[in-house]
Amino acid sequence: MLNPSDQLHHLLQLRGENEIIEFKEAKNTFDFDKLGQYFSALSNEANLQGTDAAWLVFGVADQKQIVGTTFRHDATKLQSIIRELAEQTTNRLTFRGIHEVVQEGKRVLLFEIPPATIGIPTAWKGHYYGRDGESLGPLNPDERHRIERQLHEYEFEKEPAMRNVPAAHVRELLDYEGFFRLFNVPVPSSLPSVLARFLQERIILRNGNEHFDITNLGALLFARDLHRFDKLGRKALRVTFYEGTGRTTAKIEQAGQKGYALAFEGVMQFLYGQLPAREDLDKIRRVTVPLYPILALRELIVNAMIYQDLTVRGTSPMVEIFSNRIEVTNPGQPLIDPLRFIDHVPLSRNEAVAAMMRRLNFCEERGSGIDYVVAECEKNLLPAPNFIKGDNYTRAILYSPRSLRLMDKADKIRACYQHACLRHEHGDQMSNQSFRERMGIEEKNYPIVSRIIADTLASGLIKLYDPENKSKKHTRYIPIWA
């Protein structure tokens, strides 16, 4: 968007209000329920009109006279609206931002509203709102169905990220040299040869004799700068290192710019250079070993890229590094239960992106990625990774080394369940001994392992492999779903 002052100027120059812009005086206060209704209506209309945002403006009268507002003058209370609104909307969709502008000595608020997610109308307290010109009311049933049908008709990867691009300009927007380098083939010497390969890979589509549409697939993976594509700038991968265990203080932030395929190795090298490590004695010399298994982190980052819900606007895959963990988050809920990540064949929202990333050897073959992450954590005697299904996101967490006594009950049960899943996937069963070795527990402390297994049985996550077996020594366990 423009900077807030320029954005306000732009909105004031438009003719009257319309379905995606609403001005309110709100000199001192504004009914919160009405605020939610406007959010629903403007979000739905932004979706229907295909715009990147709608706007609710406080401190401006209907005639576009700036009157100012004291609505929630305290900055903390103002920003708390973002959380309060999310508690009553579909998929916790909320304001993308609340921008304060001082114009003519008067305070104006610009509420930036994201479009409804593709296929999912935005509701407020379970009711759908829309606009008829400047009027607020229930969302027209036909318009609601138009939004809901989008999910069945829409393939994000095939849609144009930029239309009607001259042939020569395609090479300026897409890093064709990087594309051919990644495929380990010589760079063609002629523009027609470059375009022919791009057409073959569905990176571009023909639009007339000398013009092309760049697809979302092509831009997402091979853009020189994602921000040059209106709807993709916010999809770039973000990496943030924090002080301590919370998000209060960021030490290092890196916002992505290039397409995923071009940026990925650079991101991994950056992480490798910044992540904490320990020194081990390797027979002759000391070697530096990262505290986190880099290959597992690599797989999680690729997963965040290829399994994200690309129709969720205004957010992107994130890697957040804390003193005790790494969180990898992508937009959109998972399509399968996180408890079945290890064994279930993945359901990909973005099959073309996933296929391309596999062809470029950025990730494991279909279905083996999370198994690999769990196995790497077991090999390094790390706490079990955690997989979380959020309101509109999926999060994977890798934990730094932690002694057994510092793990809580949930950590131990999760490790036990994942170990049983991994053994089952390898055609074997979990035993007291196999789990003891996975946790690095001495043989004399086997009763500790027995208690963890008993807790996991009680939680309903595993079961006896052979209920008829009476020998404790030969007792085996499998996941509850096996």
- pLDDT for 459-474, tens place per residue? 999 999 999 888 877 8
How far is it, in rounded angstroms, from Cα 9 to Cα 266? 39
Domains of the chain (ranges, CATH numbers): 4-151 (3.30.950.30), 156-231 (no CATH), 236-399 (3.30.565.60), 404-479 (1.10.10.10)
- Give the containing element (helix H, strand E) for 270: helix 260-274
Q: What is the pLDDT of residue 15?
A: 74
- pLDDT for 221-259, tens place per residue? 999 999 999 889 889 999 999 999 999 999 999 888 999
SS3 label, residue 70: coil
- pLDDT for 184-232, tens place per residue? 999 999 999 999 999 999 999 998 878 999 999 999 999 999 999 988 9
pLDDT of 288 over the 80 cut: no
pTM summary value: 0.71
Angle of CA points 221, 2, 54, to nearest 5°: 85
Pick 151 or 121 by higher pLDDT: 121
pLDDT of 151 over the 80 cut: no
DSSP state, 262? Answer: H
Tell me the two tokens of residue 439: 């946790």
Beta-carbon contacts of residue 468 (< 8 Å; ≥ 6 apart) = none
Which segments within 48-144 are labelled E, that is strand?
Answer: 54-58, 97-103, 106-113, 123-124, 127-132, 135-138
Tell the residue number behind the tokens 């993709």, with chain if given: 232
pLDDT of 281 over the 70 cut: no
DSSP state, 67? Answer: -
Strands 204-206 and 211-215: antiparallel
Q: What is the pLDDT of residue 367?
A: 56
Tell me the two tokens of residue 190: 């002629």
Q: What is the mean pLDDT of the chain?
A: 91
How far is it, in rounded angstroms, from Cα 359 to Cα 353? 10
DSSP state, 174? Answer: B
- pLDDT for 99-109, tens place per residue? 999 988 999 99
**What Å distances lie between residue 32 and 37, 243, 327, 363, 421, CA to CA?**
9, 36, 34, 46, 47
Q: What is the pLDDT of residue 283?
A: 60
The per-residue DSSP string of 381-432 comes to TPPPPEEEE-SSEEEEEEE----GGGS-HHHHHHHHHHHHHHHHHTT--B-H
DSSP state, 325? Answer: E
Strands 54-58 and 21-24: parallel
Q: What is the pLDDT of residue 240?
A: 95
Q: What is the pLDDT of residue 301?
A: 96
Q: What is the pLDDT of residue 282?
A: 64
- pLDDT for 65-114, tens place per residue? 999 999 999 988 998 999 899 889 987 889 999 999 998 899 999 999 99
